[in-house]
Structure 1
Amino acid sequence: MNDKNIHSDPLNDFEKDLFGKGKINWEKSEADVWNELQGKMDKNPAKEVHIRNNWVQWAAAAVVLLILGFGAVISSWQKTIECRPGEHLVAALPDGSSVDLNAASKLVYNPLKWKWERKLKFVGEGFFNVEKGSTFTVESNNGTTQVLGTSFNIYAREENYRVTCLTGKVQVTSPGNEKVILLPQNHVELEAGKLVVTKLFESEKAISWKQNYFYFAGRPLKEVIDEIERQYAVTIKLDPELNNRNFGSNFSKQHSVEDVLDFVCKPMNLKFEKQANNIYIVTAES
């Protein structure tokens, strides 16, 4: 007899003894087990919703940050137009308004906000021709000018602030919040912190610089010398003791800088000397 034919695996015999006697007696019924598994499965969607809610919150926060960032860019964006010494230029603004800039003048504005806020910062001298529309505001260190549609000239250099209205109506506000309304041929000047208005002013003289002609009626000599520096792009050293001497006359830029200096100095018993290229000194006659 072949022993291999009657070979029996002890493990198989154990399985027959265990499983051949019928079903296993479970501690829980099949229905109970299924219900318990189903309950665990039902809990999973809550975790998914929680994750989805977090994602929505993160996305909303990202959108808010993007909007705030874009708003910051719009608010901080600035365009600068600068006229160098010895030059004149015309600045065109987004609404069709224009500014004739005198030498050594500058304006700064936000082109992205211009459609709903016509406002700019200005230093120097300029003739403004403003298109009708929303309030147009020009801010300078020593005052603010507001209009709707008009033309006017602003002189805003150092402590000086002067506004001349040519057409329309202009409101000027001082640093102390004093306000005046200017009509055509009205002129206002800031003196000792107060706005002093002159009516029936020869407004054409205020913009004569556009034709390279310069009027001075009892202005400090330093102001005259500073204007000559700007128009000719030179350096003129003025004896400080002469700063507040008054000068009253006019000159045209068609003459050379030395001809103009001679014209200014002679009637005031002053002299000028050329120290180097484009550098002059003005002193009193000895």
Structure 2
Amino acid sequence: MSNKNIHSEDSLNNEHSFLGKGKIVWEKSDAEVWAELEKKISAQPAVKTIPLRSQIFRWSVAAVLLILVGLAGIATFYSKTIGTLPGEHLIAFLPDGSKVELNASSTLTYYPLRWKLQRKLDFEGEGFFNVKKGEQFLVKSANGSTQVLGTSFNIYARDENYRVTCLTGKVNVSTLSGDHIVLLPNNHAELEEGKLVMKKMFNPERAIGWTNNQFFFAGRPLKEVIDEIERQYAVTIELDPQLNNRNFGSNFSKKPNVEEVLGLVCKPMNLKFVKQSENVYRIVDKS
């Protein structure tokens, strides 16, 4: 046998030897693959499903809660303001039938939707209150508050001034500093140098004279008198600052013409008024 033949046979023997010694690993069968997939799927957490009817119920509950919250917010913050212009008087009726007569340039604010739960209002200006009996009735102003159950009283709350006159019933007056006084009929309280002072046997008709266009001033600063005339006649009156604190003690009724009233005020105080322009006046000392 030639060398060529020997080489060929050796080659076959070697290939046979290689195939005999090695072991080929084939891919998994279809059955094995599906078995593993099923095992993985079964191990996944189950998807939670919520019936449509249950979802609608939850949405409805959430909507109702939102509506209730909205209504509560409206009841808490919804307010009504009633005010008067210069030269104007007005009678305001509150939800419980209580009545407030407002002097010129006065405002009150109350909360209609929670009035039955809390009779409370904010007030600035001057007003005569006739309160129906019931739960506590509270009037708050910048410099104090007035608390009653059922009564009639007058409040003057302008700038730094705060005065309360009780006509009927009982009134509890308090200030921001903590002072408080209980007023009975014909009692009057006012702030004097930051302190609440009470005056007994006060003539209440003077306090509410404005409701009949009668104005009483007993030793009040002239500026306060002039401010009241401005409000009643819707005019502007310039007062020499040196005259602001000069005391005025008299009374007058509202006249058709503002110049008549200015004459009544100026003459006894040796003052004069000068018309600057339409509805604008200036008051100066004659000397």
Asked whether the two chains share a fold, i.e. TM above 0.5, the reply is yes
Q: Greater Rg, structure 1 or structure 2?
A: 2
Hey, what's the Cα distance between the residues in 2 that align with 1:53 and 1:195? 64
Q: Is the 8 A contact 2:255 2:261 kept in 1?
A: no
Hey, what's the Cα distance between the residues in 2 that align with 1:67 and 1:281? 57
Q: Which residue of 1 aligns with 2:139?
A: 138
Q: Is the 8 A contact 2:152 2:166 kept in 1?
A: yes
Q: For residue 124 of structure 1, what is the amino acid of its counterpart?
A: G
Q: For residue 252 of structure 1, what is the amino acid of its counterpart?
A: S
Q: CA RMSD in A?
A: 3.0
Secondary structure at the residue paired with 1:104?
A: coil
Secondary structure at the residue paired with 2:81?
A: strand
Q: Which residue of 2 aligns with 1:262?
A: 263
Q: Which residue of 1 aligns with 2:70?
A: 69
Hey, what's the Cα distance between the residues in 2 that align with 1:250 and 1:108? 31
Structure 2 matches for 1:205-224, cutoff 5 A? 205-224=206-225
Q: Which residue of 2 aligns with 1:167?
A: 168
Q: Which residue of 2 aligns with 1:285?
A: 286
Q: Once the two structures are aligned, what percentage of the paired residues are identical?
A: 61
The alpha-carbon deviation at position 64 of structure 1 amounts to 3.3
Q: For residue 75 of structure 1, what is the amino acid of its counterpart?
A: T
Q: Which residue of 1 aligns with 2:4?
A: none
Q: Which residue of 2 aligns with 1:16?
A: none
Hey, what's the Cα distance between the residues in 2 that align with 1:60 and 1:94? 33
Q: Which residue of 2 aligns with 1:120?
A: 121
Post-superposition Cα deviations, 1:55-96, rounded to whole Å, max 9, x if no partner, equal 766654444333222211111111111111111110011100
Post-superposition Cα deviations, 1:223-254, rounded to whole Å, max 9, x if no partner, equal 00000001111110001111000000001003
Q: For residue 203 of structure 1, what is the amino acid of its counterpart?
A: P
Q: TM-score, normalised by structure 2?
A: 0.81
Q: Which residue of 1 aligns with 2:193?
A: 192
Q: Which residue of 1 aligns with 2:100?
A: 99
Q: Which residue of 2 aligns with 1:4?
A: none
Q: For residue 241 of structure 2, what is the amino acid of its counterpart?
A: P
Matched, 1:248 2:285: no
Q: For residue 231 of structure 1, what is the amino acid of its counterpart?
A: Q
The alpha-carbon deviation at position 267 of structure 1 amounts to 1.1
Q: TM-score, normalised by structure 1?
A: 0.82
Matched, 1:230 2:219: no
Hey, what's the Cα distance between the residues in 1 that align with 2:220 and 2:62? 60
Deviates more, 1:120-129 or 1:72-81: 72-81
Secondary structure at the residue paired with 1:48?
A: coil
Q: Is the 8 A contact 1:145 1:171 kept in 2?
A: yes
Hey, what's the Cα distance between the residues in 1 that align with 2:55 and 2:196? 60
Q: For residue 81 of structure 2, what is the amino acid of its counterpart?
A: T
Q: For residue 240 of structure 2, what is the amino acid of its counterpart?
A: D
Hey, what's the Cα distance between the residues in 2 that align with 1:278 and 1:115? 44
Q: For residue 201 of structure 1, what is the amino acid of its counterpart?
A: F
Post-superposition Cα deviations, 1:163-193, rounded to whole Å, max 9, x if no partner, equal 0000000000101121110000000001122
Could you list the runs of 5+ residues in structure 2 that have no partner in the other structure?
Answer: 1-29, 33-38
Deviates more, 1:52-61 or 1:228-237: 52-61
Secondary structure at the residue paired with 1:47?
A: coil
The alpha-carbon deviation at position 51 of structure 1 amounts to 8.5
Hey, what's the Cα distance between the residues in 2 that align with 1:49 and 1:174? 61
Post-superposition Cα deviations, 1:202-241, rounded to whole Å, max 9, x if no partner, equal 0111101011000000000000000000111111000111
